[in-house]
Chain A
Amino acid sequence: MVKDQEFLEKKASYCLSLAKKLGATDSSIIVKNSISETVNFRNKKLDESNRSDDLGLSITTYIGKKKSSISSSNLLNDNLNILIEKCIETTKNTPEDEFNSLPDRDLFAKEVKDLNLYDETHIENNQKIDYLKKLEAAASSDKKIVNTESSFTQNKSNFVLANSEGFCDGYKTSSFTASSVTVAKDEKSMERDYEYSSKCFLKDLDDADELGNLAANQTIRKLSPKKIGSEKIAIIFDKRIAKGVLSTFASAISSSAISRGTSFLKDKVNQKIFSDKINVFDKPDMLKGLGSRNFDSEGVKTDTLKLVDQGILKHYLIDTYNGKKLNLKSNGRCGGTSNLYFENGNISFKDLLNSNSKSLYITETIGHGSNIVTGDYSVGATGFLIEKGEFKYPINEITIAGNFKDMFQNITLANDLEFKYATNSPTMLIEGMVVAGK
């Protein structure tokens, strides 16, 4: 069982009062316990079991405008005494920064709603094994599949966030995650792909057969890929890749990148950065949402934000420190976005495939090719050639490149949004990107 609220609150208040006694003018602390149990299968047999029990805390102390922090997984009071003393010493020796402070008092979350983020259900390892047996049987039913690796994880967490302003709150969350990675082989090639499902509640998890079949089919269709020539071509991003475009957008509007001047979206609030039809939401209070939360990592309340309204950027993602620097109020985004998504477009997936006589459908990208300073984008990619709305053949060993400033203006979205991750996008078409191949 994860540690209860009482235990975590006791540790938090011990540390806060010790920090105060040693001279801190302010302090904040997070104490967290997380227990995960994982079972892995490989080729229809048990491969690994893994149990992890992580208990840790992180405390930040302020002396006026000086600040420092420590974290530790050793919660014995003896050790905490030494560490907090060290933290205060370091704080004293760290230069002042006028923007260092706890959040403004009126911004703290006041009510904590039950967002349905915790499932009491405990799934024993032998039940996980039953699920994985079914999954792997489905995944390996085709002879072209030569290797399967699947995994089932149950995670239960609890935390308390507290500070010297009297904020003290936290709640339990749970997740159940199943995944399957399959390898397919033919005379010419060997390819890998995967499928995955993660939910707050066990009963919402995808069916094992369905997950296994999807993983296998997505892998088999990649066999015997070709390399194509270099050209300018319309790119369609599968949902699992399209969400990455949204993540890059989120890092580029984070108040830290804006205040440091290292984002291509600096000074773009109230300007049109996407095409007219694009709306982006960040909605923290979604029931059972994988990114849902009641407050951010500083205790600041989080409201739903319409970040982009008909193509126009409306908000940055603001925390206390960078907000003070930019002379803006925190909007509860310390630690990033919650449930971030593009609103559905108005054409079907099928019409999206048909909107160009020839396009590339991308199912996987590799490399770290997004530069948020310049907006330049260049990654390795794998996918399929689409002609007249039909999947023709698989493609690999190509790169796709462009600049986000142009890419954002050329996005068309399908109407197939689903909430599979914390950040989600419908299938996405971007015109005018460059493919490098042969």
Chain B
Amino acid sequence: MSHMSNFFEKSDVSRKEAESIISDTLQKCDDGELYLENSKSESILLDDNKIKNSSYNSDLGFGFRAISDEVVAYSHSNEISKNSLKQSSENLKSTLKSVKGTYNHEIPKSNKKYYDNINPIEQKSLNEKIKILNDVNDYLRSKGDKVKQVTANFLGEQKSVEIIRSGGETLSDVRPLVRFNVSVMVEKDGRKETGVYGVGGRQSYDSYLKDENWKSVCDEALRIASVNLESKPAPAGEMKVVLGPGWPAILIHEAVGHGLEGDFNRKKTSAFHNLMGQKVASEGVTIIDDGTIDNRRGSLTIDDEGTPTEKTVLIENGILKNFMQDRLNARLMKTRSTGSGRRENYRHIVLPRMRNTMMLSGKQTQEEMIKSVDKGIFAVSFGGGQVDITSGKFVFNCTEAYEIVNGKIGSPIKGATLIGDGPSILKEVSMVGNDMMMDPGIGTCGKAGQGVPVGVAQPSILIDKMTVGGTKL
């Protein structure tokens, strides 16, 4: 059995007493739990030739939740004490005055684990991390005078969570997470451009950086920056767009992922809420949200309500099959949780969220797609994206893209925003590539002020019509 945080060891409240406060508070509720969290995280940053920052954070706290019908009462504190638990309990009871629900105890069980119980921060010494950051700086600056600025950082975390339900049922998980990022700015003839790349996931730093693999991260950041030095203004208007494999799948995340989260559909504020069982994408398009891939950034052994995660089919061969659900929205929509209940930390309520969102491979090649385009763009890498759930409109920002002229890849173009309509964009997908790839493990998704780590994957795809937000008419 793995070593767990003992949340009650240094507290004036025993586990038994806590359990009885929980059971007493939740007895007539429909759902709820006490969520305990202990996290340790570090950040080491090299910038402008120096170690700018080395910091360590230790966070401890609980969130107490009670649900009656549609109403959620939540209270959190970073003091795990009898007084604080009782105060939270009173606060919950005062919101839910006349409860008469049926407490739903059932949480499915699973023995599967998708990452090891490690503390990545302790697995590599501070001096080793500082050495790599300095090596990164030297390596990139040795690549020529055009390199004007280098930023590199390590982010590591170990988060222990425990969920105690009415009756004392307890579920727990220890989650490692690391990220290594490099950003480089180059200058030529007075023009400045940046390139950013990173790697990460739920393993030790060394799993991503061994055999001087950090050099390939540097090379990729520098390559993107250098390509952008040669870029010309992007076109403006509707045209064909070929997306490369991997990270560009944030298109899927923004365009359809958010719109398929249970809460927006229960509240009927998603553009997808009345499209279940209908055709929402071209034939050949299958999209899943999978929390069960070993060591991926978006994977979870259990979600933040204790439900084991799973591989959820969202769209199968163009037909909308499932939404992503937490327990609250699943109960109200008379279905089951898909293990998608997540929160940033104990300060926040649970929401249905994505894990690793993936479009599966088809049969075509990227070459065929590019050949078929007379005028359009080929987008290889992206910054971030955003969606308006209700109108369905979404955007994402290219950080590496090229024009396509008469079936051939042309000059690189400046970063531009692409905009489209979520419910219709997947019907514009006319080719699906055979080259599905996962992203490098750097994504964070924001919703209602909460950021959670996620992954994306897709093959190359051809979209027949999208608006490109350049400046060249």
Judge whether B397 and A367 touch: CB under 8 Å: yes
Q: Which one, B126, B234, B391, B419, contacts A189 given CB within 8 A?
A: B391
Judge whether B467 and A48 touch: CB under 8 Å: no
Q: Knowing A69-B55, A401-B469 are in contact, say whether A366-B393 is a contact too (CB < 8 A).
A: yes
Within 8 A of B (CB), among A167-204: 183, 189-192
Q: Secondary structure of the B side of the interface?
A: strand
Judge whether B417 and A367 touch: CB under 8 Å: yes
Contact stretch, chosen from B72-80, B165-173, B402-410, B426-434? B72-80
Q: What is the bound-complex CA distance between A400 and B416, given in angstroms?
A: 10
Size class of the contact patch on chain A: 35 or more
Name the residue on A nearest B134 (C-beta). Answer: A95
Judge whether A378 and B417 touch: CB under 8 Å: yes
Q: Knowing A47-B72, A54-B347, A93-B127 are in contact, say whether A259-B48 is a contact too (CB < 8 A).
A: yes
Given A50-B349, A368-B397, A436-B470, 7 more A-B residue pairs with CB atoms under 8 Å apart are: A68-B56, A192-B390, A369-B417, A373-B185, A373-B193, A402-B471, A437-B237
Q: What is the bound-complex CA distance between A400 and B419, given in angstroms?
A: 11
Judge whether A74 and B194 touch: CB under 8 Å: no
CB distance from B141 to the nearest CB of A (A): 14
Q: Secondary structure of the A side of the interface?
A: strand
Within 8 A of B (CB), among A305-357: none
Number of A-B contacts (CB under 8 A): 239
Within 8 A of A (CB), among B220-252: 234, 236-238
Judge whether B60 and A367 touch: CB under 8 Å: no
A206 at the interface (CB under 8 A from B): no
Q: Knowing A73-B60, A366-B393 are in contact, say whether A95-B51 is a contact too (CB < 8 A).
A: yes
A56-81, CB under 8 A of B: which get 1 and which 0? 10000000000111111110101100
Judge whether A55 and B192 touch: CB under 8 Å: no
B387 at the interface (CB under 8 A from A): yes
CB distance from A266 to the nearest CB of B (A): 9
Judge whether A435 and B236 touch: CB under 8 Å: yes
State the 10 A-B residue pairs at the shortest beta-carbon distance, nearest first: A399-B469, A380-B395, A436-B236, A367-B395, A192-B390, A49-B95, A73-B78, A230-B237, A378-B417, A51-B75
6 A-B pairs with CB atoms under 8 Å apart are A53-B77, A56-B78, A70-B55, A86-B56, A367-B397, A399-B419
CB distance from B76 to the nearest CB of A (A): 5
Q: What is the bound-complex CA distance between A53 and B94, given in angstroms?
A: 17
Judge whether B349 and A68 touch: CB under 8 Å: no
CB distance from B457 to the nearest CB of A (A): 22
Q: Knowing A69-B55, A90-B126, A397-B420 are in contact, say whether A47-B70 is a contact too (CB < 8 A).
A: yes
CB distance from B239 to the nearest CB of A (A): 10
* Residues of chain A with a CB closer than 8 A to B468's CB: 399, 436
Q: Which one, A190, A260, A398, contacts B419 given CB within 8 A?
A: A398
Judge whether B388 and A436 touch: CB under 8 Å: no
* Residues of chain B with a CB closer than 8 A to A402's CB: 471
Judge whether B58 and A83 touch: CB under 8 Å: yes
* Residues of chain B with a CB closer than 8 A to A232's CB: 473
A434 at the interface (CB under 8 A from B): yes
Q: Which one, B268, B415, B467, contacts A371 given CB within 8 A?
A: B415
B188 at the interface (CB under 8 A from A): no
Judge whether A374 and B192 touch: CB under 8 Å: yes
Q: What is the bound-complex CA distance between A55 and B347, given in angstroms?
A: 12
B17-61, CB under 8 A of A: which get 1 and which 0? 000000000000000000000000000000110111111111111
Within 8 A of B (CB), among A419-438: 434-438
* Residues of chain A with a CB closer than 8 A to B191's CB: 374
* Residues of chain B with a CB closer than 8 A to A260's CB: 47-48, 149
Q: What is the bound-complex CA distance between A271 and B388, given in angstroms?
A: 39
CB distance from A82 to the nearest CB of B (A): 9
* Residues of chain B with a CB closer than 8 A to A366's CB: 386-388, 393-395
CB distance from B387 to the nearest CB of A (A): 7
A97 at the interface (CB under 8 A from B): yes
* Residues of chain B with a CB closer than 8 A to A276's CB: none
* Residues of chain A with a CB closer than 8 A to B52's CB: 97
Interface centre among B47, B78, B271, B468 (most CB of A within 10 A): B78
Judge whether A94 and B54 touch: CB under 8 Å: yes
Q: What is the bound-complex CA distance between A3 and B185, given in angstroms?
A: 45
* Residues of chain A with a CB closer than 8 A to B415's CB: 369, 371, 376, 378
CB distance from B471 to the nearest CB of A (A): 5
Judge whether B130 and A93 touch: CB under 8 Å: yes
Q: What is the bound-complex CA distance between A83 and B53, given in angstroms?
A: 17
Q: What is the bound-complex CA distance between A207 and B94, given in angstroms?
A: 26
CB distance from B169 to the nearest CB of A (A): 24
B59-87, CB under 8 A of A: which get 1 and which 0? 11100000000111111111100001000
A42 at the interface (CB under 8 A from B): yes
